[in-house]
Amino acid sequence: MSPERYQRIRDVLAKRQTDLTVCLENVHKPHNVSAIVRTCDAIGIHRVHTVWEEKYKLRGGTAMGSQQWVRVDNHDNISDAIGNLKSQGMQVLVTHLSDSAVDFRDVDYTKPTAVLFGQEKYGVTDEAIAMADQDIVIPMVGMVQSLNVSVAAALVLYEAQRQRQIAGCYDTQHLPEDECQRMLFEGGFPRLQKLCVRKGLPYPPIDEHGQIAASDDWWQQMQLSAAAVAALQADEAAG
């Protein structure tokens, strides 16, 4: 991995927000899911949560590779998902028009926050609404009273980013170093990472220059010759 790529990844990881996330309940169109994940990456969200009646794959073209940098946790049902989020001390907001709903800009997103978005046609379920802490709405004055779910997510998340930047939330690294090391290896050495998984070996540490700092024993278990190692590292650095 080149020093430039190492520093780029480090800078991104340093701004990851571990206490801001989204939960997608049966958002079933792959291009919407992928677009939301792409926005999450841009905002600095580290992990998103999903609940699907069927499992869908992210559409790589729309996500623009961001699915590599945003972790996705799948839950069997919305009760488990919201319970998991609340156990982390997060306020759970749901996009839902109701008498108690507030303008999405009037919420304090500097608190640990999860924003719940529902299925494209029917929205969130009654169970999700009942479990959420606050309904939020995006004010509209047109004939249509709903936005595409990926557009709605972008609006809400950029308001969260705005508030967090003002509060200095991006100035301190929140992501644990072991997770940073894992993502540095996966993002900086994708070919070696696949080989590592195939052989069932632990990921090696990455040093401050972006190079693998593994023991001789680890390299021996990888069963790569010195020439093969040099070629792979040069290939990764060039990529």
129 known member of a binding site:
no
Q: Which residues contact 135 (CB under 8 A, 6 or more apart)?
A: 93, 94, 95, 96, 97, 98, 100, 101, 102, 129
Radius of gyration of the chain (CA): 20
Q: Are 61 and 104 in contact (CB under 8 A)?
A: no
d(CA 109, CA 6): 30
147 annotated as belonging to a binding site for a ligand: yes
Inter-residue contact 74 to 50 (CB < 8 Å): yes
Residues annotated within the binding site for S-adenosyl-L-methionine are 95, 138, 147
Residues annotated within the binding site are 95, 138, 147
